[in-house]
Chains A and B, each alone.
Chain A
Amino acid sequence: MKYLCLVYYSEAAMQERGDDHWQSLNKECQAYSGGLTESGVLLEGSALQPVSTATTVRVRDGQVSVTDGPFAETKEQLAGFYMIEANDLNDAIRVASRIPPARYGSIEVRPARDIYDHSSEKVPYGEALES
């Protein structure tokens, strides 16, 4: 049986905990996911860039609509995921707009974040900057 584990947390609260906490959390994630991969439990997984980088793609009447921001419709539920390789956001939008349920619901496109590279040095500022 395969299971999808979705990770949620408050970006603002994470930012308040500071960079040191962030770095040690990323290290902890590296160790845990490394072990899971070795034992064959982790099939595919990735951290994501903050929600401020999100783009939502929908297709209605054959027209692709692209909007800034995350998917935020509580009437719809998560139904699946595609982890894709794309050159840039335009390329990713092209792929997302052909996912068949894009015609009925929404596809949220979020860039992945490499927990091993420099992007895990500082907590990314997301919505916390809004206030």
Chain B
Amino acid sequence: MAARGDTEQQIQRIFSSESRRVLATLIRLLGDFDLAEDALQDAFIAALRQWPDEGVPDNPRAWLVSAGRFKAIDQLRRRARYNEILHEQAQQLEQQATVSMEEENAAIEDDRLRLVFTCCHPGLAREAQVALTLREVCGLTTEEIARAFLKRPSTVAQRIVRAKAKIRDAKIPYEVPEGDELYERLHAVLQVIYLVFNEGYLASSGELLLRHDLSEEAIRLAELVLRLLPQPEPECAGLLALMLLHHARRATRMDAQGELVLLEDQDRSQWDREEIARADALIRRALQTQRFGPYTLQAAIAAIHAQAPSSEATDWQEIVGLYDLLLQQMPSPVVALNRAVALAMRDGPRAGLAALEPLMEDKALADYHLAHAALADMHRRLGNIADARRDYERALTLASQPAEQRFLRQRLEALS
């Protein structure tokens, strides 16, 4: 029975590569998330039963869509004994079931993009967008999502149930928006992707190794959206590049003891050059369009760091220029803080302090540990040890992550 075992393995492979695509199409055809999920399961059970004897069909994807649709019609009919509306729905589905396999195959990729936009619809709460995207587009289980976000599985499950109910009852459409709306909605999609990435990124520096690799999931999602959008969207490329650049440095962010390592002290020979080169190409193309935004600018800044042979040999002139552009597009106190830090590198700590001190009147920075750490660092470089100590201590009281607290304590000890 070696042949049968091989087929089963092949079916497993097809399941992991095709299940999300097939699900996206079934959701469009059936107009119901839960019905589509059941139909997907039924289609794979049918495949496991039939393919070992009949062989794997030439177009397994279209076969699965078609099998899933018929299984859903069966299920609606069984339930329809009690309900007139379901009966009509089953009949309608049956009439539509004559589309050719070729047409089906062409529509399937578009369905994945529709699903992304539906899951990230701004009419859903942000946490619901994230959970639904990870569940439906990426295929994570409810338990995996719960573990990744340190929530109870029942909480995540309830969030997903409510989001699906709103999609159904408020009639959130299954479509990729067009024109101006595409840009507004894409913004929400990119925010969800970046949130997923950051959750994974912070987790990898934290104490929990059990968490699913959300950073890589986010990179795959951005690649998918970039590939499927009707025209290449510079900000989507910019976000992908930004994530690749962070990801390229993952091996050097912590030392063997699990302590944070500053960018200037990281072992640059360990950075993933292939990912950096990919990011670089994406950024160049995005910048050429002249329609780039904050993600592309942040990626460009990260790329200059990633390509510099050392901290001293970094092109701080270029970095300050990019921060000036970023500040115009995204006038936030944290961007202004980063610009001041870059200025301190270009023109010396005195210039950095002159830029940073007036910013500290902003409430957001007054309570931000990294702002005080930056002030402390500038004072340290100027030899103002008492001021440096005061600001490191202030940063330490505000920091909440254990690794950051340990790092700040080390800096304090190094002062004396």
Cα of A49 to Cα of B170 in the assembled complex, Å? 8
* Chain B 88-101 near chain A by CB (<8 Å), digits 1 or 0: 00000000000000
Asked if B78 is at the interface of the complex by the 8 Å CB criterion, the answer is no
Closest to B180 in A: A64
The answer to whether B169 and A90 have CB atoms under 8 Å apart is no
Q: Is the interface of B mostly helix, strand, loop or mixed?
A: loop
Cα of A124 to Cα of B166 in the assembled complex, Å? 12
Closest Cβ of chain B to A59, distance in Å, is: 12
With A55-B123, A118-B83 as known contacts, state yes or no: A90 contacts B166, CB within 8 Å: no
Closest Cβ of chain B to A61, distance in Å, is: 13
- Name B124's contact: one of A68, A88, A94 (CB within 8 Å): A68
Asked if A34 is at the interface of the complex by the 8 Å CB criterion, the answer is no
The answer to whether A90 and B122 have CB atoms under 8 Å apart is no
Q: Which residues between 129 and 175 of chain B lie within 8 Å of chain A, taking CB atoms?
A: 158, 162, 165-166, 169-173, 175
Closest to B86 in A: A118
With A89-B123, A90-B181, A129-B158 as known contacts, state yes or no: A68 contacts B171, CB within 8 Å: no
Residues of chain A lying within 8 A (CB to CB) of residue B121: 89
- Name B123's contact: one of A66, A91, A129 (CB within 8 Å): A66
Closest to B172 in A: A89
Closest Cβ of chain A to B401, distance in Å, is: 30
The answer to whether A53 and B166 have CB atoms under 8 Å apart is yes
Asked if B1 is at the interface of the complex by the 8 Å CB criterion, the answer is no
Asked if B85 is at the interface of the complex by the 8 Å CB criterion, the answer is yes
The answer to whether A88 and B173 have CB atoms under 8 Å apart is yes
Asked if A67 is at the interface of the complex by the 8 Å CB criterion, the answer is yes
- Name A89's contact: one of B165, B173, B181, B184 (CB within 8 Å): B173
With A52-B166, A129-B158 as known contacts, state yes or no: A90 contacts B125, CB within 8 Å: no
The answer to whether A52 and B171 have CB atoms under 8 Å apart is no
The answer to whether B169 and A53 have CB atoms under 8 Å apart is yes
Residues of chain B lying within 8 A (CB to CB) of residue A87: 171, 173
Most A CB within 10 A of own CB, among B166, B172, B184: B166
Residues of chain B lying within 8 A (CB to CB) of residue A65: 122
Closest to B83 in A: A118
The answer to whether B85 and A90 have CB atoms under 8 Å apart is no
Most A CB within 10 A of own CB, among B125, B128, B171: B171
Residues of A at the B interface (CB closer than 8 Å) are 49-50, 52-55, 63-69, 87-91, 93-94, 109, 111, 117-118, 124, 129
Please, could you name 24 A-B residue pairs with CB atoms under 8 Å apart, sorted by A?
A: A49-B169, A49-B170, A52-B162, A53-B166, A53-B169, A53-B170, A63-B184, A65-B122, A66-B122, A66-B123, A68-B122, A68-B123, A68-B128, A68-B166, A88-B172, A89-B171, A89-B172, A90-B173, A93-B123, A94-B181, A109-B170, A118-B85, A124-B169, A129-B162
Closest 8 CB pairs of A and B: A66-B122, A88-B173, A55-B123, A68-B125, A53-B170, A88-B171, A53-B169, A89-B172
12 additional A-B residue pairs with CB within 8 Å, beyond A52-B166, A55-B170, A118-B83: A66-B122, A89-B121, A89-B123, A89-B170, A89-B172, A90-B172, A90-B173, A90-B177, A91-B173, A109-B170, A111-B171, A118-B85
